[in-house]
Structure 1
Amino acid sequence: MLKDTYEFFAVEIEDKIAHIRLNSPQTMNAMNKAFWNELPDIIRAIDGGALARVIVLSSTGKHFSAGMDLSVFADSAASEKNHDRYVLAEAFRSNVKAIQDSFNALEEARIPVLVACQGGVIGGAVDLISAADIRWCTADTFFCIQEINIGMTADVGTFPRLQRLIPEGWVREMAYTGRRLLAEKAVEIGLVNEIYPNQETMLDAVMATAREIANKDPLAVTGSKVMINYGRDHSTRDTLDYVGVWNAGMFPPEHMAEAFTARTEKRTPNFPDLAPVRRTAM
């Protein structure tokens, strides 16, 4: 269930668009415990409850996010005293899986997640945007796999996702050197779809795209997302088979008729929303 307020995020839903904003500009939106706990809950509440047809994820302040808040590491270190190192290694792996799941929620959502970036997109923020469907940025944006600069390997989703979005050579350069990838290069290699001069202009454009998506048939949109994600991880033959099975069960003649009628009548089509889904055991 969606809460009225959150510690790290500001959430509003209007015209079937959910706008989630990272709302801790005083810390450069560094990802603290509240971030990791709240993000998957918000995404799954919106998606599972069919509260919106598209999600826009943006940020506040100068930077999109400085990445992982070091207090998360400090809290973990404080709890490691008097434990066997092998037991601690297993606990670390389990904790990392829980953190990874926060970003998996974006990819697993039935509805598209659009991200609008400004300023620094650093460390864990690269993992975050890589799990989204579409990305845009402002002219002052830069992207940095910061983990190499603090002596660790990125582990929350950068490598399995980023290397499917941009050429492998660029992933390797960013990962090995910790250099910043600037906005102009990001759009050139396909990490973002377009660059805007400032955040206001960017959000206007992103919201326009969100409205366009929200006016499409939600079942067709979620089917498209499922197939794009499936096709990324499977062969062409397997994906063609799966889309055939999908349409065999969920091909909507009534929705298509409404689309044609609305076009003829020059109006916005009236499609049914997705149904809420149960996230807990029956």
Structure 2
Amino acid sequence: MTGKPTTFTPTAHSHSAADVTTGTLAVARGGTGISAYTAGNYIRASGSTTLAQRTPAQFRSDIGAGTVTSIATGNGITGGTITTTGTLGLTGQALALHNLGTSGIIARTGAGTVAERTITAGTGITVTNGNGVSGNPTVAVKTYAIGNFAHGGIVFWVDETGQHGLVCAKADQSTGVIWDDGILANNYARGNGPMAGKMNTAIIMANRGNYHNIAAYRCITTTITEGGKTYADWYLPSRDELNLMYQIKSKIDFTALYDGGNVFAEASYWSSTEFDATRAYAQSFLNGSQTSSVKDTYFRVRAVRSF
């Protein structure tokens, strides 16, 4: 064959990714560069021209999320339990609520912090549920009545609120003791009226504290335990306090016997109210009369305390 050879130009053809049956197609050519996939995995751009498979756990780590493992009901806004593991984006007050150890009343204690608070029922306080829907608690303050057994003794006087008053011991502190040793000396324990006996007793002991065989000393050294609590702030009643006890003697006697004590004797009891240097007031629990008696006379003693 002679002559000049003929020039051959191949015809260009276009193909789709579907025409590729073996190997992988690079990302730059519109492929993934991945030859096989695991069901449930995700594809992530690991570079400008590369893709990579990521498991669900790796994907959560990539986006900084925890795992919602269960939802008890479909009503996730108003009910049901959502349990999480891992790291959940709770900050500030939401995180503080999450970290509370128990349920109950909570209070905001600062920026981003809350704390548990409780209302505990006990002596003087009864806690009941309030307005139902709002759950506001109602606190009822306990009040006392004459003849109640409370605060270590028997209530014989209360103020207008019913929350405070006086109790006497359920038994005598002495069946016979002197008020003082008979020395001609004024103690100036002249207080009268409810609760005045406490100051009278303090004055007597400040002047005659070295004498242990006297009525005031028998009272201040009295300790009475009732209901697991010990009461040690007893004193010798004033003239009026003693008379208040006599006026409701029958109620006091009834409660005393019921709670393991003794009734008042039909005899005279010392008050802490001084008459003069040699005499102090006493009251008969036989007929109710009050007399000023020589301080070295032996009379009975019944201690009282305030609450």
TM class by smaller structure: under 0.3
Larger helix share, 1 or 2: 1
TM-score between the two structures when normalised by the length of structure 2: 0.19
Which structure ranks higher in relative contact order (CA pairs < 8 Å, sequence separation ≥ 6)? 1
Larger strand share, 1 or 2: 2
TM-score between the two structures when normalised by the length of structure 1: 0.20
The structure number with the bigger radius of gyration is: 2
